[in-house]
A and B are shown apart, each in its own frame.
Chain A
């Protein structure tokens, strides 16, 4: 299926000419070998260039390997396959001049503000006087003069991140990496820092030639970036890569701005639809394609959250833009998406053009009282979630009606990373408990059949193993 062309945007450009790329990733991949023949692919073979004069934003749902990508491009992490070049030299052997601004600030709490900013210069052997002078100047630039003697814990979050920026910029990096730099801050502080960053960038106050921003905030990306790359997951790959040609400063309320935001939402909420301009989709070998997966990836959402979402949707007449829904709930889209995904998986709603539309079964669910809701949920869960169906069947089949968790973990293990296995299991337990499909004895790590025998649920449904 092809995606419509972005409204009011020129069609995406070809990948920029390779000659002047500062950092170029060629077919980089990241995977972890598993004891069994399988391997967990985090990022499939991907090409990406960072070119001068550009703020590049990397967007994607959680689990799409945004941070892994940032770390491979900055030289902090070595790709399992492929190569990253710094000015045409392999990055591992080049004298790389980059900085990272971290989500958690990563300031050293035992050093003063000044010492924190001086530390990278000290590592480069800059003499004490020059070190001090450059650091003070940088603190002045980010609006922290007078705070040089304070310790980070004496500062507010916004000021801590200012120190983070000062420390990153004091080494005059060619590329400034930012890993969700504003997401630990409150809305106003984040907005403030964003516009100050843009100002520094526009006035060329910093010698930085390119900025690479990882974010999950779509508006933030559209607000700041000259180019946006959207990653998909399972495994991470580039879904679309396009230039943003809105003039700065950008107006969030303007039509082109919101249309661009809507477009990205559509890309993000329809992981199965291939956007027309996604480059390099077939490049490299994918070790595991989503369609070959045996188990669905369970979105980490609570049944209560789904009920809440469906009720809200019903109030809105059964259909609404996901972006508006997130706004109404004051949710980050990243928090809302798992709930939407889960409701979609269970057949309670469908996604069309970035809109969520409630289905008849969803309507019935939202209108029912709690016991009936559980019954509907149970039916839907057994019908559409392979893992839950398997657990229930195993419990019914065994004479003592109990099965150890490990049994299912071993099966999930084939497909997910260790951490993801545990999260999948956690979600499955939450759903199963809600639906009263089974109970889970956390002490013994075993599933048990609930005391009151339900009607034979698992056998009601059509056998549908292994299919999505």
Chain B
């Protein structure tokens, strides 16, 4: 059995222009260094809660830079947290269900509700430098992007094929080797796709985190978000600055897509579980370029390998590597380990503290206010569902049309992806201005904002679902001359159902989160507000009514979690059992 085509990888990469490529990479490195210096010197200035935001176009590059750094750091933090949290949850049967429940609840809490505690804590932690404020903003963005990544990593760990885990056990891999050769590669694709969603969510949150009021003080951090909001709330609106800001934002998003996500997706192809190599795949010129740069590949790669060898040889002689770790779940023993004890007692203390303080808290809130909260909850609930209905109404036919016509998909999908990744919060001021000119108000505006933020999830999922309907089913419906109605009810709707549900779940969560920004807005020097739970959270933050904020947050989180449990999870089960297309 001699090979006919030796597949020697080293022969494949023939390098062109190695010098120029290395030069480009070096320039990039230099720019990175200068950026770090600039950021560091800004962070170590005295804290300036309310920086004056210049609306000049020349200020934009620096603002954009600050915002990008915030999102980048928040993303790194999310990644580390997601991996750590997912790991703990997946491998500690004792705390697993609790940790997942906590994640479920945290995910339902809107970003703005985290704002007062996070900001106050960070400013108290680093009182004398701008760094404190910045850390607060970064943490808030973090809360907007971390949860789905943690879920993704956790479920990847849980879905590693059993025999692969067994192989890693029987060959006595150390935890280190298992992580790099099994767990992380297995999670890579999920993590990358979720990173894209998370960073889009980060932009959404950033707009809110760079400019807010707390305890009667206005906070403004120099950045793209505060630039856009300042332009919108100026009297009269600075349309010129607003449009420039939007342009820069779109440019950054397109650049991230091309320079970061596409290369990553193309690269992650090797982590796919495939029996055979597939023909269609994402390509990225940037990735090809990077792979040709000897500098970038060899230097860090070589250093890494050398460091790694030391780790491997040390671990190999450790206790963990000399015996085979059995696969059986460790039996729950009588003894409690330190971690569980600490976590448990911390949670207990927190509960106790809450139990003592909660009655006092409720006492200070009047009946009228509580009624008002419930009325707001009902209003927001209505708005969220109306926006979901509208989104489903237009995305289902359009998505199916795109999914059924590959030619259309090739043109429409990239455009839709770019449009979808522009944060709705940034577009909102422009839209609201237009609506007010046309005689509308925040009532319609808020629904439009929710739509903008959420319809894409449904659209993309419907497209995916329509593409996944097997062509023989479509052929059958043509062959037997199904009527249009029959075609939709027997083939298309059941076919896209699981995808539609996935999209709707995500969209519903997004709409709740968007309500915070949608129902309360500074525009044209005025504050626009309508009845809603989101407006109450937003105004409570601004006026430092922490009790109202807490109650509203509990209410919103309760409604989201209940909806998930009662409606979405059931539909999900239905989708997984009855409407699953077996392959």
Contacts and interface: CB of A to CB of B under 8 A. Distances in A.
Given A125-B317, A443-B578, A95 B323 contact: yes
Given A76-B170, A123-B321, A149-B8, A71 B177 contact: no
Q: Which 8 A-B pairs have the closest CB atoms?
A: A125-B316, A120-B171, A146-B6, A106-B163, A149-B9, A146-B3, A75-B324, A125-B313
Nearest to B316: A125
Nearest to B309: A128
Contacts of B578: 442-443
Nearest to B313: A125
B316 A75 contact: no
B176 to A, nearest CB: 10
Interface string B319-348: 001111011100000000000000000000
B274 A125 contact: no
B270 A78 contact: no
21 contacts: A71-B327, A74-B170, A75-B326, A76-B169, A76-B170, A95-B322, A98-B324, A100-B166, A100-B170, A108-B181, A110-B270, A119-B171, A120-B172, A123-B172, A123-B173, A123-B312, A124-B172, A150-B7, A153-B274, A153-B275, A443-B578
B278 to A, nearest CB: 9
B328 A119 contact: no
Interface residues of B, number: 49
B316 A92 contact: no
Contacts of A108: 164, 181-182, 185
Contact of B163 (A77, A94, A102, A147): A102
B171 A99 contact: yes
Contact of B313 (A92, A100, A127, A171): A127
A348 B177 CA distance: 56
Nearest to A75: B324
Given A76-B327, A91-B324, A149-B10, 13 more contacts: A74-B170, A75-B170, A76-B326, A93-B323, A102-B163, A104-B161, A106-B163, A108-B164, A119-B173, A127-B309, A143-B1, A149-B9, A150-B7
A120 B173 CA distance: 7
Contacts of B9: 112, 149
B304 interface: no
A151 B269 CA distance: 12
A111 B181 contact: yes
Contacts of A327: none
Interface in A138-162: 143-147, 149-151, 153-154, 159
B324 A96 contact: yes
Interface of A: 71, 74-78, 91-96, 98-100, 102-104, 106, 108-112, 119-120, 122-128, 143-147, 149-151, 153-154, 159, 167, 171, 177, 442-443
Given A74-B324, A123-B177, A171 B163 contact: no
Interface string B542-583: 000000000000000000000000000000001001100000
B324 A147 contact: no
Contact of A78 (B2, B170, B172, B326): B326
A109 B323 contact: no
A127 to B, nearest CB: 7
A112 B182 CA distance: 13
Nearest to A159: B1
A154 B326 contact: no
Nearest to B331: A78
B3 A147 contact: yes
A92 B328 CA distance: 13
B3 A109 contact: no
Contacts of A96: 323-324
A112 B185 CA distance: 13
Nearest to B12: A149
Given A94-B323, A111-B181, A153-B276, A145 B3 contact: yes
Contacts of B328: 77-78
A110 B271 contact: yes
A98 B323 CA distance: 11
A166 to B, nearest CB: 13
B499 to A, nearest CB: 20
Contacts of A171: 171
B277 interface: yes
B307 interface: no
Given A75-B324, A104-B163, A110-B185, A125 B312 contact: yes
Interface in B478-524: none
A145 B323 CA distance: 32
B167 interface: yes
B240 interface: no
Interface string B1-34: 1110011111000000000000000000000000
Contacts of B181: 108, 111, 119
A80 to B, nearest CB: 9
Contacts of B317: 125
Contact of A154 (B7, B170, B185, B273): B7
B273 A109 contact: yes
A154 B323 contact: no
A177 B271 CA distance: 28
A181 to B, nearest CB: 12
A254 to B, nearest CB: 28
Nearest to A192: B1
B174 interface: yes
B324 A76 contact: yes
B419 interface: no
Contact of A109 (B1, B169, B173, B270): B270
A147 B185 contact: no
Nearest to B275: A153
Nearest to A153: B274
A99 B168 CA distance: 11
A98 B167 CA distance: 11
Contacts of A127: 309, 313
Nearest to A125: B316
Contacts of A159: 1
A150 B327 CA distance: 30
> Which of B172, B185, B317 has most chain A Cβ within 10 Å?
B172
Given A77-B326, A92-B323, A103 B316 contact: no
